[in-house]
Structure 1
Amino acid sequence: MHLLYCDESGSAPDPNQNHFVLSGISLFERQVFWLSNELDRIAERFDPAEIPDVELHGSPMMGGRGIWQPFTKADRIKAIEDALHALAKSHPSNRIFACVVNKAKVSPFDPVEIAFEQVSSRFDHYLARLHKNGDPQRGIIIFDKSTYETALQGLTTNFRTLGHRWGLLRNLSEVPLFLNSKASRLIQLADLVSYAIFRHYERGDDQFFKIIADRFDQEAGVRHGLCERL
């Protein structure tokens, strides 16, 4: 089973932001425990007594908001970089799927729907590729609890039964699951990945993006894991 942990960066309705990003980290089920432990060790630096209370989220970490206020910017940035490096150095089967949408260019269409269609279909195609190569696997998409929950579950059902523009979702075991990010280090890591991608496209800042740039799904030199609707 492959699990795709997803989160977004950028606000779809915010007129002051040009881009919306949805990204997911695909992990084979046995990789989840190892990577979660790596992230726990990073969180432990900031509150050894209450490690689960330290949530790794890009925007508050960068801005020093909430629980991050007492810590230096250098320490906060190092934590983001170390979390992304944990993914970058992890098993080669762990890979990123993401869609970057320029909201003005796709208007009046919903950037969330466009991004989800791209990410889910590319994840599905990846699973189909594994199957073709003799490794039959099913997948589940896991999101942070968000205002998009009902819409995304409906979209997945439609894609599986009516199809999207490239066909049907054939390799997913269930409609998306939604978790509280506090309960999942991998949802938090997906947030950091989306934040890194968002800063790259929205602000031209590749400080974090360059760490994960080689982890987008690719085959034979073709990068399938990053969609740009710019």
Structure 2
Amino acid sequence: MYLLYLDESGNDPRLPWFVLAGVSVPERQVHWIEQDLNDIAARFSADEPHAVELHGNPMHKGNGRWRRVERARREQAIADALHAAISQRHGYGVRLFAAVIQREKTPAGKQPIDLAFEQISARFDQMLTRLNRKAAIRKQPAQRGLILFDKASNELTIQSIAREFKYSGHQWGRTRNYAEVPVFLDSASSRLIQLADLVAYAVYQHFAHQNPLYFRAISRCFDSDGLREHGLYTLP
């Protein structure tokens, strides 16, 4: 099974950009990524690393508990988390997905979250289809997918869209490889949701503020097939 952890950045409707992004992880990699992130958190609380939440915005800006941590250490921690958990594990099947939406360009009748989730849901499903075709040739079991969100997301909207894609379809067809409707988790208890937050923040900083500080660590990790990149969608 592949687990796709997603989070949002730019939620405020007054902001011109909205990003939905996250990381697709083969289930056997989840434990090792958690360990990578726990090691980063332990830099700031060796006795209680699980009490340290890794979130892009407060770490970058130095808000809350991060106010007492010097800027260089905060920025390095974000970059190191992205490198250790994603770049170094790209060869183990870890892939990124992101939808970058400029609000004023959103088609009439749609909200940014609708468009972003449609793009990512379809692209993740297409990745699973591609993997399953290769698995069939090798006579290996098919892979299913599950999407996991931060519980702070708009759960009712996302669940409704997911059901529509499964039974009625989206603009490219119906989703066929999901084991269940999206699941919502408390980010405080999930390092992978925290990682999705870091990814979304890195993508948002790159596109909305032309700040590649964190994005460059993950820029080559979006889902692709050969030379064709599928994991990153932009509506500029």
Partner of 1:98: 98
The runs of 5 or more residues in structure 2 that have no matched partner are none
Partner of 1:69: 67
Q: CA deviation at 1:51?
A: 1.2
Runs of 4+ in 1 over 4 A off after TM superposition: none
> Residue by residue, what CA displacement relative to the aligned partner does 1:103-153 show, whole Å, maximum 9, x if unpaired?
101154200010000011100000000111115100000000124111101
> Which residue of the other structure, out of 184, 191, 208, is the alignment partner of 1:202?
208
CA distance, structure 2, for counterparts of residue 207 and residue 172 of structure 1: 34
Mapping of 1:76-91 within 5 angstroms?
A: 76-86=74-84, 87-91=86-90
| SS class of match (1:22) | strand
Partner of 1:33: 31
| SS class of match (1:47) | coil
CA distance, structure 2, for counterparts of residue 43 and residue 67 of structure 1: 12
| TM-score (norm. length: structure 1) | 0.97
| SS class of match (1:119) | helix
- Kindly provide the amino acid, as one letter, of the partner of residue 196 in structure 2: A
> Residue by residue, what CA displacement relative to the aligned partner does 1:187-215 show, whole Å, maximum 9, x if unpaired?
10110001000001100011111110000
Partner of 1:58: 56
The runs of 5 or more residues in structure 1 that have no matched partner are none
Of 127-136 and 220-229, the range deviating more from structure 2: 127-136
Query: What's the C-alpha RMSD, in Å, of the aligned pairs?
Result: 1.0
CA distance, structure 1, for counterparts of residue 97 and residue 34 of structure 2: 19
- 8 A Cα contact 1:3 1:27, kept in partner: yes
Q: CA deviation at 1:180?
A: 0.2
- Kindly provide the amino acid, as one letter, of the partner of residue 17 in structure 2: H
- Kindly provide the amino acid, as one letter, of the partner of residue 175 in structure 2: L
| TM-score (norm. length: structure 2) | 0.94
CA distance, structure 2, for counterparts of residue 146 and residue 94 of structure 1: 24
Mapping of 1:112-131 within 5 angstroms?
A: 112-131=113-132
CA distance, structure 2, for counterparts of residue 224 and residue 171 of structure 1: 17
Give the aligned length.
228
Partner of 2:152: 146
Partner of 1:19: 17
| SS class of match (2:54) | coil
The verdict on how the C-alpha distance between 1:193 and 1:147 changes in structure 2, with shifts beyond 3 A counting, is closer
CA distance, structure 1, for counterparts of residue 2 and residue 146 of structure 2: 7
CA distance, structure 2, for counterparts of residue 70 and residue 188 of structure 1: 21
CA distance, structure 2, for counterparts of residue 220 and residue 74 of structure 1: 36
- Kindly provide the amino acid, as one letter, of the partner of residue 127 in structure 2: Y
Q: CA deviation at 1:12?
A: 4.8
Partner of 1:184: 190
Q: CA deviation at 1:94?
A: 0.5
CA distance, structure 1, for counterparts of residue 65 and residue 30 of structure 2: 25
The verdict on how the C-alpha distance between 1:169 and 1:12 changes in structure 2, with shifts beyond 3 A counting, is farther
Of 3-12 and 30-39, the range deviating more from structure 2: 3-12
- Kindly provide the amino acid, as one letter, of the partner of residue 48 in structure 1: A
